[in-house]
Structure 1
Amino acid sequence: MGESQRIAIVGGGIIGASVGYHLSKLGADVTVFEKGSPGGGATGHSYAWINSFDKHPRYYHEINHNSMNLWSRFADSIGKDIGLHWGGNVSFASDLRDGKRLIEITKRLQSWGYPARLISSEELGALEPKLETGPVSAALYTWMDGHVIPVKVVSACLDVIISTGGTVNLGTYVKSITVSTEGSIVTTDSGDSLFDTVVVAAGTDCTEIVKTAGCHIPQLRSPGVVARTKPMPPIIQSLASIHLPPLSDSTLQTHVRQDLDGIVTIGAGSQEDEEEDDSQRHAEDMLKRASFYFDELSGAEISPVPVGFRPMPIDGLPVIGYADTESHIYVTLMHSGVTLAPLVGRLAAAEIMFGTNIDTLNPFRPSRFS
């Protein structure tokens, strides 16, 4: 395959933007189709914690860990402020049962070579002086975790695509993809366009879009909700993310991060918990729970982000690769899009441009759903 390939990217979220960015750097003629605004889907709703904290099986953990190690280089190559912050994550427990679980997670992460250790309540206080911990049965510190502002990443990648001669079509819905002997035809309201390869990075829309080309990629319905404050003075001093214990048996844990621009993002439960309550009342309830630990959050002005739906393959693992051996359609569908964006972008671009098979991606091929 040569450098003159015409490649369509369906979806302008963080995965589509990264794949398009890396393809542009390799000389491809890239056209992006995004039905809304850049990063307006799951990317804009993401808590955006860069991690490989509790990901199974081992090969899924490894691909996330490897991608984490590429984030700084990716950010440097983009050359713009994307809100990347390294500071680690702390998850701590107040009761013995949850503390025992954190201890077991620590042992597993350490055996897998992941930077993780248990810390004392005094060490946690030194990391976050404004944190009022209360009783601590266990605290797990994964010091290489980070966060990013994903819509800034998307915007920066799309700028590079345009600057290298590519095209970005916003507000453009892809109706179908048709495979022909010459390539793949993308159909929108504006008509048909022929491409050598079509990368489907359309998040929750991926299943329906590839279905038009006869492909089967099943997904789970996975709603999630976060809320965000207006910019505030620094409250979280060093950590990129912190997971706070539930206040009672009837409530979920709360996760909190503060961007470099001062905005505090709050979510409830784990990154996989399903939640659809995007009401102002629920946002204020999450703020109240976080304020129990960070008093300076009390009275902050907070707004819910409308419920978002995570791209979630039915087995929970990423889908990366050609839809079949004869296809010109390359699928990229995954929940851990923020963490995986640098690695998936680089490897997918290499497979498409060089016609190679990268064995790191073999466990994640679409063929497992055939």
Structure 2
Amino acid sequence: MSASQRVVVLGAGVLGLSIARELAQSGAQVTVVSAGGVPRTASLRSFSWLNSLSAWPLDYHRLRLRGIAHHRRYAAANAVPWLRFDGSLNWEAGGASASLSGVHAHMLTLEYETRWLKAGEAAALEPALAVAALGDASVLHAPGEGWIDLPAWLAVLEAASVSAGARFVKVEGDASVSTQAGRVNGLRLPDGTLVPADAVVVAAGAATPAVLSPLGAAIPAATNRALLVHARVARPGPKAVLRGPDVAIRTRADGALVLHAEWADDEVRDDGPNRWAVEADVVQDVLARASATLSGCPTLELLDTGIGLRPIPGDHYTVAGAIESVPGVFVAFSHSAATLAPAIAEALAPEVLGQGRDAQLDPFRPSRFSTT
């Protein structure tokens, strides 16, 4: 397949737009279809912590570092307030627990910079952090990590895609991959219109497994419900990403705070297809716990909440590559897409265009799962 071929990308989140930009800038004729429009994307509900702080296998760690390196290059070339690398501070209840200690030991084997700080040292490094919130915990500092405001990054990706010739189609309802004689021939829109294509990339977030299932591709998912809280604070927020046992906190480019609490995700209620809700007292509890984590316990004013599905592959690792049962169909499905999207896009785009496979994706191809 040549670069001039027609490619449809289903999904306008950070994965879809990153791939669309790579394809369009390579000369492909790209159409991006967003089912339900951009506001439905999980990218707008992402905490967007740029990191590789976990006991990841080496292959996955390297893929994450590739994504972080891309973001670092962009930050170095563009003085933007919505992409920062001021590190992360991480602690757990009851001191340095076995899980964080294990992560630190693993990071040392990977030469990923982390170090233990005492409570006072952490508060000196990050004045917005309350020493009392740490108790007797040791704090794991990862100085090379950061965060990104995805709405701003999505706008950059969309503008770059359009500048390179991509067109955008927003529809209400579910699109489906169309095939003819055993291979892809386009994407079928909800109204029945066929968008012809030589290749289709499915980057539809939580809907990805359902889109691929009719093609005989079984992509297991561990997708869950998620709550993200945005709040205004009258004083400067933390520069570093703060991750404690009760709540995670980062500052947005406009000075507001982004808050996530895993326990609060479990309180999100499913009220029907694409409808989710959470009780007001849960949101207030998130705000209270965030306030207690910050120096001086500042008042936090609720701005808005993001509620919906967090796309997670069944084994928690990226799924990217060709759907072998239907030539011309490709998938990009991932948790931590804020970190991984640039790497996945850079690796996958040449494969979509028939220019060879990137070996870095080999451990993460959909063929690792059984098909029906």
Give the TM-score normalised by structure 2: 0.89
Deviations 1:240-294 (A, max 9, x none): x11124xxxxxxx2110011211101111389x7552633211111111111121
Q: Tell me the CA shift for residue 304 of structure 1.
A: 5.1
Residue 121 of structure 1: aligned partner: 119
Residue number among 259, 278, 291 corresponding to 2:252 in the alignment = 259
What's 2:185 paired with?
Answer: 184
Aligned-residue offset at 1:174: 4.2
CA displacement at 1:211 relative to structure 2: 2.0
Q: CA–CA distance in 1 between the matches of 2:250 and 2:123?
A: 16
Q: Indicate the larger mover: 225-234 or 106-115.
A: 225-234
* Corresponding residue for residue 83 of structure 1: 82
**Cα distance change on mapping 1:231 and 1:18 into 2, 3 Å:** farther
Residue type at the aligned position of 1:106: H
- Cα pair distance change 1:202/1:297, threshold 3 Å: farther
Gapped regions of structure 2 (runs ≥ 5): 270-277
SS of equivalent to 1:324: coil
Matches within 5 A, 1:195-344: 195-230=197-232, 232-236=234-238, 238-239=239-240, 241-245=241-245, 253-269=246-262, 274-276=266-268, 278-295=278-295, 298-303=298-303, 305-324=305-324, 326-344=326-344
Count residues with an aligned counterpart. Answer: 358
Query: What TM-score results when the alignment is normalised by the length of structure 1?
Result: 0.89
Structure 1 gap segments, 5+ residues each: 246-252
Whether the 8 Å contact between 2:233 and 2:301 is mirrored in structure 1 is no
User: CA RMSD, aligned part only?
Assistant: 2.3
**Does 2:136 align with 1:136?**
yes
Write the distance in 2 (CA, Å) between the matches of 1:349 and 1:276: 36
Distance 1:357 1:290, change over 3 A: same
- How far apart, CA to CA, are the structure 1 residues paired with 2:29 and 2:74? 21
Distance in 2 (alpha carbons) for counterparts of 1:303 and 1:29: 39
Question: Identity of counterpart residues, as a percentage?
Answer: 25
SS at match of 2:320: strand
The question of whether the paired residues in 2 share the 8 Å contact of 1:235 and 1:296 is answered with no
